[in-house]
Structure 1
Amino acid sequence: MSEKMKLIQRVLIIKLRHHGDTLLITPVINTLKANFPNAKVDILINKETMPMIEHFSSIHHIFVLDKAWKNEGKLARLRHEWKLITDLRNQQYDVVINLADQWNSAIITRFTGAKIRVGYDIYKRQSPIWKKCFTHLIPLGSVDNKHIVEQNLALLQPLQLPKIDTQVSMAYSHQDKHIVTEKLKAHKVLGSYIVIQPTSRWFFKCWDESKWSKLIDALEQEGNQIVLTSGPDPREQEMVETIIKGCTSNSVVSLSGQLSLPQLAALIDNARLFIGVDSVPMHMAAALKTPLIALFGPSKLFHWSPWKHIGEVLWAGNYGELPDPDDVNTNTETRYLSLIPVEDVLNAVRGQLK
C-alpha cells in the first residue's frame, strides 16, 4: 500500500438498491476497516434498506435517499437532494466507492469532490459524463460472472489493499434478541426450532404452498418445532396462512409479518436450521452461519447464491428446464420452484439435522 493510501481517513460507499444488495456490501466495509482501522466509513443507501445495516458497528454514519421525497413535489425533492449532496461534500471524503449503476449515484460521487472516486465501467454507461464522474473505472465485464460479493470487492482494486475480508455481516441489537425471545416464549417455544421463510416479494421465486405444508408435517412428525416467518406484505402473510391451513399439525408457530429485519436476524441466528427461497432472509442465514436449505429457481445462481453458507442449495434447474433469468417476467404467477420434490428437500433437511 502506498504512503498516499495510508492517509485515507474518510470513505463513502454508495449502494442504492434493495435489501439483499445492501447486506452484501458489508465485506467492502469489513475490508476497508481491516486496512484502515481508524478510518470513518459512511454509507449512502435507500432509506428502506437501512434495517440491514443500522446495527453494524463498523459504519460511522448512514446517509439515505428517501423515495418518499418524490411525493413532496419537485421543488421539495430537489431541496432534499441538494441538502444531501451538500452534507456529503462537507465530509471531505478521501475515497468514494460507488457500487451502484444509477446516474444519480454517479453524479453524487462526482460532487463529493473526493480525490479517489471508483465505479463500474458498464456497457450501458459509456457516456463521457459517466466517465468524468470517476477517477477509476473497473470493467464490470471482468467480474460479471462472479458473485455479487466479489463484484463489490473488485471496486477496491485501485486501493491495492493487502487484506481482503470476504465475510458478510448481519447485526442486530440486544433489544431485538429480547423481543424475539419473548415472542417465542409466548408461543411456548423454549427449545430448538427451525425457521422457514417460504415467501419472497417476487412470487416466481416461491415454492408451492401445498409442498411447504407437506414438508412441515413431515418435519413436525420427526419432532421438530417449526417457526414460520414472512415480510409484512399482505400477499406474503396470506401465503403463510394458506400453508398453515394445509398442515395437519396445529403446533406450527407463525411470526409472519411480526418481525423487523434485525429481529428476524436474531430469530435466524438462534435457529437450528433455516429453510427458505432466494430472498434476503436466506442471505441473512448465510451471514449468521446458521445452517440452511435454500430453494432456487431462475435466478443467476453464480450471482445470488448464499455466500459462504453452511448447508445445501437445491436448484430447480436440476429437475427440469427453466427460463433464462434475463427473460423472466418478475410479475408472473408461475412457480418455477415447483420442479423441486418435497422428498429431496426433506432429505436435505435431514442431512443438516444429523
Structure 2
Amino acid sequence: MANPTHADVTPHNILLIKLRHHGDMLLTTPVINALRQRYPQANIDVLLYKETRPMLEAHPAIRQLHIIDRKWKQEGSWRKFLHERDLIAAVRASRYDIVINLADQWRSALITLLSGAPLRIGFAFNKRDNFFWRLCHTSLVPTTNHQQLHTVEQNMTALTPLGIPAQGARASMHFSASDAQKVDALLAERGVDADFIVVQPTSRWNFKCWEEEKVAATIDRLAQAGRKVVLTAAPDKHEMEMIARIEALCTTPHRVSLAGQLTLPQLAALIARARLFIGVDSAPMHMAAALDTPCVALFGPTKLQFWRPWGDHNQVIWAGDYGPLPDPDAIDTNTRQRYLSAIPIDDVVKAARNFLHD
C-alpha cells in the first residue's frame, strides 16, 4: 500500500515508465509536470516505445528518453538480448532514486526491479496480484477506483506515495522552434492566415471515424474566405485514401490539405495556431486539448470516462447520445463499420460555431 512517509524524499533522479500508444504517452505529461513542480531540481527521464518518442521529445522537464524499439525482436533473439542488456545497463547507470511504473507489462516491472531504485512505485493491478509483481515494486497504489477515473487521474494516483495530489493535473504538448517555423512556412505557402480550423477525421481504426460525406459537408459549412479549413492525417495509406475521398466530396475552395506532411510535433505546432480543432478519438485530439485549442471531439464506442479530451475548452459529441452502441470491450478493431454514423452534421457544425462565435 502507499506509504505517506515517502512524501519526505528529495530525489535527484526519477524514471517514469509507460509502454503504450501515442495518446497514452501524452496523458503521462500531467505526472511529469507535477513531478517537475514538486521536485524542480530533479532529473526526470522516461522509458517509452520508440514510435511514441515524438510525443515527449520536446518536453522541457525531461532530461532523457530511454527507448524500447518493438522491432528488436525482428533482429533475432541474440540481438534483442543485447539491446535489452544495454537498456538495463543505461537505467542502472542513471542511479534512479524513484521509478514510477505506470505500465502493466511484466517487462516494465522487471526493468523497475533491475533499476535498483530504493523507491519503486507501481499499480496494484488485479491481473498482477502475485509475488513477482510485488517484489518488483516497493509501493503499490490501489486501482480499485480506476474505472471511475479519467486516464490522467489514474496516472496521477501513482504519485500518492509521494504526497502529490491529483488536483490541478495539467497535460502539455511541446514542439521545437524549428517545428513551428516549418508549419508557419507551410501555412504561408498555402495562403492560410492566422484564422483557420484543423480537421483530423482519420484514425488508424476505421470504427472510430465519421463518414467522409459528413466530414466533407461539415468542412463546406465552416470554411470561408477568411477562415480556411486545414485537413490533417498520418502518412498512412488508408488515412491518406480517406482524406482523398473527403477532398473529392468537398465543394469549398477554402480548404487546404497537409495530410501526411507533418511530424507529430509539427502537427502540434499547427494545432496550437488554430482557432479550432475538430477530430475523432485519437492522439491529435488529445494534443488539441493539451494545447488548449478549442476542440470538438467525435466519439463512438470508446470509454469516454477514460479517453475524453482533458482540459477546459472541449466539447464531446458522442454517438451513444443518438443511438445504441456496442460495448467498447466487444469491438472488433478491424471492423469496417462506422459507429459514429448516428452523429448529425448540424450538431457538429453548431458546436464548432459556438467555439468560433459565429
The whole-number CA distance in structure 2 between the counterparts of 1:222 and 1:336 is 33
Please tell me whether residue 189 in structure 1 is matched to residue 192 in structure 2: yes
1:103-158: CA deviation from partner (whole Å, max 9, x where unpaired): 10000000001111111111211221111111111122222320000110101111
Residue aligning to 2:259: 256
1:278 alignment partner, one of 277, 281, 288:
281
Residue aligning to 1:90: 93
Residue aligning to 1:60: 63
Change (3 A) 1:98 1:247: same
Q: How far is 1:284 from its partner?
A: 0.5
1:205-258: CA deviation from partner (whole Å, max 9, x where unpaired): 000000011111111258531000001111001101100000112332000000
Give the aligned residue type for 2:59.
Answer: F
Residue aligning to 1:313: 316
The whole-number CA distance in structure 2 between the counterparts of 1:67 and 1:225 is 39
Give the aligned residue type for 1:238.
Answer: E
Please tell me whether residue 201 in structure 1 is matched to residue 204 in structure 2: yes
Residue aligning to 2:328: 325
The whole-number CA distance in structure 2 between the counterparts of 1:233 and 1:321 is 30
Residue aligning to 1:236: 239
Residue aligning to 2:122: 119
Work out the number of aligned pairs and report it: 354
CA contact (8 A) 1:271 1:290 kept: yes
The whole-number CA distance in structure 2 between the counterparts of 1:173 and 1:125 is 39
Q: How far is 1:309 from its partner?
A: 3.4
Please tell me whether residue 338 in structure 1 is matched to residue 310 in structure 2: no
CA contact (8 A) 1:205 1:296 kept: yes
Q: How far is 1:269 from its partner?
A: 0.2
Unaligned runs of 5+ in 1: none
TM-score (norm 2): 0.96
Identical columns (%): 50
CA contact (8 A) 2:227 2:254 kept: no
Moved more, 288-297 or 245-254: 245-254
SS state of the match for residue 52, structure 2? helix
Unaligned runs of 5+ in 2: none
SS state of the match for residue 41, structure 1? strand
The whole-number CA distance in structure 2 between the counterparts of 1:275 and 1:135 is 43
Residue aligning to 2:51: 48
1:285-320: CA deviation from partner (whole Å, max 9, x where unpaired): 001110111100110000000001303110000000
1:313-341: CA deviation from partner (whole Å, max 9, x where unpaired): 10000000001111111111110000100
CA contact (8 A) 1:320 1:339 kept: yes
Residue aligning to 2:268: 265
Moved more, 319-328 or 120-129: 120-129
Give the aligned residue type for 1:318.
Answer: D
CA contact (8 A) 1:35 1:163 kept: no
Q: How far is 1:189 from its partner?
A: 1.0
1:79 alignment partner, one of 79, 82, 85:
82
CA contact (8 A) 1:184 1:190 kept: yes
Give the aligned residue type for 2:45.
Answer: D
1:47-73: CA deviation from partner (whole Å, max 9, x where unpaired): 100000100010011101011211111
The whole-number CA distance in structure 1 between the counterparts of 2:131 and 2:23 is 31
Q: CA RMSD in A?
A: 1.5
CA contact (8 A) 1:290 1:310 kept: yes
SS state of the match for residue 249, structure 1? coil
The whole-number CA distance in structure 1 between the counterparts of 2:209 and 2:15 is 36
1:137 alignment partner, one of 137, 140, 143:
140
The whole-number CA distance in structure 2 between the counterparts of 1:108 and 1:165 is 30
The whole-number CA distance in structure 2 between the counterparts of 1:258 and 1:185 is 15
Residue aligning to 2:353: 350
Moved more, 243-252 or 110-119: 243-252
Please tell me whether residue 302 in structure 1 is matched to residue 305 in structure 2: yes
